[in-house]
Amino acid sequence: MTLQENISLKKFNTFGIDVKAEYFAEVSEINELLELLNSSEIKNQPFLFLGGGSNILFTADFKGVVIKLAIPGIVIIDEDRSTILVEAGAGVVWHDLVQFCVNKNFGGIENLSLIPGTAGAAPIQNIGAYGQEIKDVFESLSGYYLQDGAAGNFYKDNCRFGYRDSIFKRELKGKFIITKIRLRLSKDPVLNLSYGQVKQEVEKLNLKELTVKDVSRIICSIRKSKLPDPSIDGNAGSFFKNPEISFEKFSGLQKEFPDIPGYTQEKSVKLAAGWLIEKCGWKGKRVGNSGSHSKQALVLVNYGGASGKEVLQLAGEIKSSVYKKFGIMLEEEVNII
């Protein structure tokens, strides 16, 4: 591990924003991480922990130390008749973990196939897609508090998981470094095919018996058909969360916009932010070097050379127009630095 100075972060964030880190280090061992946190050279500097940089928008150079977590390793650490406990290092590429499990027919994360980023960051916003969330299979995680280097373990009940949310995106944001996560998967997978588009694809394929591997393949093909590839058009997936509103507010909106999609939750209705943005005329619109993607209005794109501030400016304009038309304030999903 070497501490580098004045390093471009362009290749370390999927938006492809060209900012610099004052100091940068990639750590692949816990000892290296602890050594770095205690190093007198950088002791009182601000720190930023980075996985795959796929949920981040840099708006300025980072004055401090960026640490890319590259801790490797996927290990089966426990099993019983029906479940298996898999541990992954924070730096494991999330989709590699999915493939490891899918290839062994362990069920529970196949619908989360092809989500970019690392295993360590996955619990931070409780990644979710196509009817599954990591919280459904989450057992525990380990890491260190930045302030004093003390070790900490979190079990599912302490993580305060919510929709694209957890304690690590709130009170512990930037204060706790995740080094290992553990997921309890099923040896007798029950497939979740509830999401509209997944159901349609399954019907089209007309397979007699479906495995987790088939589901993973279907999810990958759906994702490839509509989400921009960050290696071509920089992006961080959905820029905003889907807003959750009261039943009353939803029926008010339905009167004015009869075709507004709404998904009933226990105590609220979840709206499709992509629909709201599209109805405001943003879908496929480009402003300077950034824009709203032509196949998925919720994904903001860097078409090349955009600055983080430029993307943020566009996001602000989108928020204002959605608020003006629907009275709904969108909330960013992406971490703005």
Residues that bind ligand FAD (CB under 6 A): 14, 48-56, 69, 90, 115-118, 120-122, 124-125, 127-129, 177-178, 227, 230, 235-237, 335
**Under the criterion CB under 6 A, does residue 333 sit at the interface with ligand EPU?**
yes
Token code pair at residue 111: 């619908």
- Could you tell which of ligand EPU, ligand FAD, none binds residue 113, using a CB distance below 5 to 8 A set by kind? none
Q: Figure out which of the listed residues 58, 138, 144, 275 binds ligand EPU, where binding follows CB under 6 A.
A: 275
Annotate the chain with three-state secondary structure.
Answer: CCCEEEEECHHHCCCCCCCEEEEEEEECCHHHHHHHHCCCCCCCCCEEEECCCCCEECCCCEEEEEEEECCCCEEEEEECCCEEEEEEECCCEHHHHHHHHHHCCCECCHHHCCCCCECCCCCCCCCEECCEEHHHCEEEEEEEECCCCCEEEEEHHHCCCECCECHHHCCCCCCEEEEEEEEEEECCCCCCCCCHHHHHHHHHHCCCCCCHHHHHHHHHHHHHHHCCCCCCCEEEEECECCCEECHHHHHHHHHHCCCCCEEECCCCEEECHHHHHHHCCCCCCEECCEEECCCCCCEEEECCCCCHHHHHHHHHHHHHHHHHHHCCCCCECCEEC
Give the x/- contact pattern for ligand EPU in 48-87, rule: CB under 6 A. ----------------------------------------
- Could you tell which of ligand EPU, ligand FAD, none binds residue 296, using a CB distance below 5 to 8 A set by kind? ligand EPU
CB of 211 to ligand EPU, least distance (A): 21
Residues 289-328 that bind ligand EPU (CB under 6 A): 296-298
Q: Which is nearer to ligand FAD, 52 or 107 (CB)?
A: 52
- Could you tell which of ligand EPU, ligand FAD, none binds residue 291, using a CB distance below 5 to 8 A set by kind? none
**Under the criterion CB under 6 A, does residue 14 sit at the interface with ligand EPU?**
no
Q: Which of 166, 238, 292, 307 is catalytic?
A: 238
- At position 255, the amino acid (one-letter code) is K
Q: Figure out which of the listed residues 126, 238, 290, 307 binds ligand EPU, where binding follows CB under 6 A.
A: 238
Q: Which is nearer to ligand EPU, 114 or 167 (CB)?
A: 114
**Under the criterion CB under 6 A, does residue 253 sit at the interface with ligand EPU?**
no
Tell me the backbone φ, ψ of residue 103, rounded to 5 degrees: -65, -20
Catalytic residue check, 171: no
Q: Which of 87, 110, 133, 333 is catalytic?
A: 333
Cα distance between residue 283 and residue 329, in whole Å? 18
CB of 101 to ligand EPU, least distance (A): 19
Cα distance between residue 110 and residue 97, in whole Å? 10
Catalytic residue check, 139: no
- Could you tell which of ligand FAD, ligand EPU, none binds residue 275, using a CB distance below 5 to 8 A set by kind? ligand EPU
**Under the criterion CB under 6 A, does residue 179 sit at the interface with ligand EPU?**
no
**Under the criterion CB under 6 A, does residue 261 sit at the interface with ligand EPU?**
yes
Cα distance between residue 165 and residue 77, in whole Å? 27
- Could you tell which of ligand FAD, ligand EPU, none binds residue 307, using a CB distance below 5 to 8 A set by kind? none
Residues assigned a catalytic role = 164, 238, 333
Provide the binding-site residues for ligand EPU, judged by CB under 6 A: 129-130, 237-238, 241-242, 261, 272, 274-275, 278, 283, 296-298, 333
